[in-house]
Amino acid sequence: MPERKKIVFLGTPAVVVPVLERLLAANDFFTVIAVVSQLPARAPRGQSVIPSPVHKRAAEAGIKVMTPENAKSAEFIEELRGLNPDLCVTAAYGQVLSEEFLAVPKFGTLNIHPSLLPLYRGAAPVQRALEDGVSTTGVTIARTVRAMDAGPVVDQEKYAVDDSVQAPELLAKLFEIGAEKLVRILPDYFAGLIDCRDQQHELATKAKKMLPEEGLLQPEVSGARTLHNRVRAFAGWPGTRLRIYIADEQVEVKVLKTRVSPVLKAKSGQIIFSDEGLELVCGDGSVLIITDLQAPGKRALSAREFWNGLRSKTLRWV
């Protein structure tokens, strides 16, 4: 049996721990010899540090972990060379890789990217796709090059997007699909049986990093469908907020889950409670149904729980 190929995995957040798990489980053709992750974070109100989820899982598995402050540093590149990897695999690592890094592994570096490249290149592909209201997205295995998410495509898989799915759930699903696909294709990839194809760069779109200020919902400007997609896209972080009046007091609530009503209503500005939830009538007459929300300093509540706590106080957003 041929010697197993040596892989170095680069990743950081909890959502890509299953990618590492899948690579560890599928070891007939390759073995994970090391993991690279972001520096441990400093714990609040203390001097201890907290390793990233990927770092923690790798340590539990007894795998060497490297956490360079700068992945472009000469010290780190030299340490990587010493490992003599056949392949590097990245998934939400969080640092830009240098030409020196990319030159080290014999079979290059493959990235699991949660979009159908060249669409949604960048830091927030799932979030921006949901914000745009796409009905289909997917995952791409691509060769890493210096230009962001612009390398040749090794393989792709499409995925139908449910109207209610939110970013954390969809991101996890796409990385799960990507991990399975990667493991399936690696034997053929190492054997040189896969023809990579260049991306159609003229079709590329960008997925810029989300900003907290984008999370403020403005029903006077946007309709219910746009607001619903924003809630789905910004779920988890940074979240979405809505300024409302309870009686005559303005508060800012977190909007957690929504639906879009098929019914238009004439008078905007209203927030009406129904069996469906809190019906927010937007400026264009479309209706956003808020089913879960959170008031400042309170726990997350269903629309009914929130309404019951108002004790007959009126609600409006203008």
How sure is the predictor about 3, in pLDDT bands with cuts at 50, 70 and 90?
confident
pLDDT of residue 105: 98
**Does 19 have pLDDT greater than 70?**
yes
Give the SS3 label for residue 252: strand
Give the pLDDT of residue 267. Answer: 80
Which residue do the tokens 């929504």 mark? 258
Fold of 5-207: Rossmann fold (3.40.50)
**Is the Cβ–Cβ distance between 85 and 105 less than 8 Å?**
yes
Pairing of strands 49-50, 287-294: unpaired
Backbone φ and ψ of 3, nearest 5°:
-65, 140
Q: State the average pLDDT over residues 162-169.
A: 97
The domain locations on the chain are: 5-207, 212-316
Q: What is the pLDDT of residue 58?
A: 98
User: Does residue 282 have a pLDDT over 60?
Assistant: yes
What was the pLDDT predicted at 46? 64
Supply the pLDDT for residue 26: 82
Banded pLDDT at 1 (limits 50, 70, 90): low
Confidence at residue 28, expressed as pLDDT on a 0 to 100 scale: 82
User: pLDDT band for position 154 (50/70/90)?
Assistant: very high
By CB neighbour count within 10 A (0-12 exposed, 13-18 middle, 19+ buried), where does 171 fall?
buried
What is the architecture of the domain spanning 212-316?
A: Roll (3.10)
Examine the pLDDT at 178 and tell me if it is beyond 60.
yes
In the predicted structure, residue 296 carries a pLDDT above the cut 80: yes
Q: What is the pLDDT of residue 223?
A: 97
What is the rounded distance in angstroms from the CA atom of residue 34 to the CA atom of residue 313?
A: 59
Which pLDDT band, with edges at 50, 70 and 90, does 44 fall under?
confident
Torsion sign across C-alpha atoms 24, 27, 30, 34: positive
Rg of the chain in Å (alpha carbons) = 23
- Mean per-residue pLDDT for 283-295? 96
Tell me the helix, strand and coil percentages in the chain, rounded to 5. 30, 30, 40
Q: Is the confidence at residue 43, as pLDDT, over 80?
A: no
Q: Which of 39, 130, 148 has the alpha carbon at shortest distance from 90?
A: 148
For residues 150 and 200, the answer to whether their CB atoms sit within 8 Å is no
Q: What is the pLDDT of residues 189-246, one digit of tens each?
A: 999 999 999 999 999 999 999 999 999 999 999 999 999 999 999 999 999 999 999 9
Q: What is the pLDDT of residues 248-263, one digit of tens each?
A: 999 999 999 999 999 9
Neighbour-count burial for 103-134, b at 16+ CB within 10 Å, e otherwise: ebbebbbbbbbbbbbbbbbbbbbbbbbbbeeb
pLDDT per residue as tens digits for the range 85-144: 999 999 999 999 999 999 999 999 999 999 999 999 999 999 999 999 999 999 999 999
